């Protein structure tokens, strides 16, 4: 029997602690291997200065998303497209592994993936942000701040960003050629229209520990201990909208095996996640 209590063993001998958890089929937070944490999400004007905002929590992981709109001129090469500009802030207040300063590589990768998910799924159409081709378009700024990170930051960011987008409304405007200005299409008051147009999406993250053991909705400890992490984004018909496989540099799973993907999809279907989003 170990001379340490569980928390001490987790800190001092993480590999031994993780091995014991896998053998017992009970995770550090008492969940089973395929048991996700509940998602709590609120879009009730969390930030009054933003056009839309949301705060989402998954266990002890929490993120805040805020959306603002501005009018700008489009790129010359893309006169029929507006702009989607996500920014993700990961600072030392949310997790000790992050450092102060400019956006780190993880935040830049997450922002790039988020933009790709929203555009390729057609949840946000850049063409729908055009006011007058080659003259004026909307810029949709999306700022996501990590408040606390206890693992599965990806699911929290995707859920919060999509919830904020679903709550966002943009004024219906038109271009007045005589005045060469953007004006309200009707009103005042302005007619507000939704930003999102595509299907709803859900994010699911797994820590793949070995060929037999897969942990759904991993904690930060489990992500750090696992040899690979798999992120999936699914549409309502369970079609894969996004997939990213992140092997650990020292891990034993350099590539995603088909049996891992099939197992993760079965886990999602068999273990519906509780949510108030």
Per-residue pLDDT of 65-116, as tens digits, reads 999 999 999 999 999 999 999 999 999 999 988 988 888 999 999 999 999 9
At residue 23 the predicted structure's pLDDT band, cuts being 50, 70 and 90, is low
Name which of 121-135, 161-175, 240-254 the model is least confident about.
Answer: 240-254
The per-residue pLDDT for 20 is 64
Bigger pLDDT: 234 or 254?
A: 234
* Mean pLDDT to the nearest integer, 202-222: 91
Residue 257, in any domain of the structure: yes
The per-residue pLDDT for 226 is 82
Number of domains in the chain: 1
- Contacts of 268-272 with CB under 8 Å at 24 or more apart are 268/204, 268/216, 268/232, 268/234, 268/238, 269/238, 270/34, 271/34, 271/35, 271/36, 271/216
Task: Please report, rounded to a whole number, the percentage of residues in the chain having pLDDT higher than 90.
Answer: 64
Residue 17, in any domain of the structure: no
The per-residue pLDDT for 1 is 41
Residue 26, in any domain of the structure: no
The per-residue pLDDT for 10 is 57
Residue 229, in any domain of the structure: yes
Residue 18, in any domain of the structure: no
Measured CA to CA, the distance from residue 101 to residue 67 in angstroms comes to: 23
CB–CB of 82/125 below 8 Å? no
pTM of the model: 0.89
Q: Which residues contact 38 (CB under 8 A, 6 or more apart)?
A: 58, 273, 274, 275, 276
Residue 227, in any domain of the structure: yes
**141-186 pLDDT, tens digit each:** 999 999 999 999 999 999 999 999 999 999 999 999 999 999 998 8
CB–CB of 44/226 below 8 Å? no
**45-56 pLDDT, tens digit each:** 778 889 999 999
The per-residue pLDDT for 21 is 61
The per-residue pLDDT for 35 is 94
Average pLDDT in the chain: 88
Angle at the Cα of 215 from the Cα atoms of 210 and 219, rounded to 5 degrees: 120
At residue 240 the predicted structure's pLDDT band, cuts being 50, 70 and 90, is very high
- Token readout for 213 is 């053991």
Residue 208, in any domain of the structure: yes
Q: For residue 192, give the CATH number of its domain.
A: 3.30.230.70
- Token readout for 164 is 């904020």
- Domain residues for 107? 31-270
Residue 115, in any domain of the structure: yes
Task: Please report, rounded to a whole number, the percentage of residues in the chain having pLDDT higher than 70.
Answer: 88
């Amino acid at each position: 029997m170990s001379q340490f209590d569980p928390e001490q063993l987790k800190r001092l001998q993480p590999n031994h602690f993780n091995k014991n958890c896998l053998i017992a089929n009970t995770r550090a937070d008492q969940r089973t291997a395929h048991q996700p944490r509940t998602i709590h999400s609120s879009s009730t004007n969390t930030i009054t200065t933003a056009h839309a905002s949301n705060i989402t929590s998954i266990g002890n992981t929490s993120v805040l998303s805020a959306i603002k709109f501005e009018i700008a001129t489009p790129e010359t090469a893309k006169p029929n497209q507006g702009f989607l500009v996500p920014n993700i802030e990961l600072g030392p207040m949310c997790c000790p592994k992050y450092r102060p300063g400019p956006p780190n590589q993880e935040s830049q990768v997450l922002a790039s993936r988020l933009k790709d998910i929203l555009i390729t799924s057609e949840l946000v159409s850049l063409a729908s942000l055009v006011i007058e081709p080659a003259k004026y378009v909307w810029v949709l700024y999306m700022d996501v701040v990590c408040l606390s990170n206890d693992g599965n930051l990806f699911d929290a960011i995707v859920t919060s960003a999509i919830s904020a987008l679903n709550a966002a409304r943009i004024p219906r405007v038109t271009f007045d050629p005589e005045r060469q200005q953007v004006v309200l299409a009707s009103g005042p008051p302005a007619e507000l229209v939704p930003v999102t147009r595509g299907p709803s999406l859900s994010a699911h993250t797994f820590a793949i520990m070995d060929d037999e053991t897969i942990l759904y909705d991993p904690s930060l400890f489990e992500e750090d201990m696992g040899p690979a992490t798999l992120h999936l984004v699914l549409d309502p018909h369970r079609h894969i909208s996004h997939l990213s496989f992140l092997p650990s540099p020292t891990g034993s799973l350099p590539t995603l095996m088909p049996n891992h993907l099939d197992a993760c999809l079965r886990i999602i279907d068999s273990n519906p996640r509780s949510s108030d989003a």
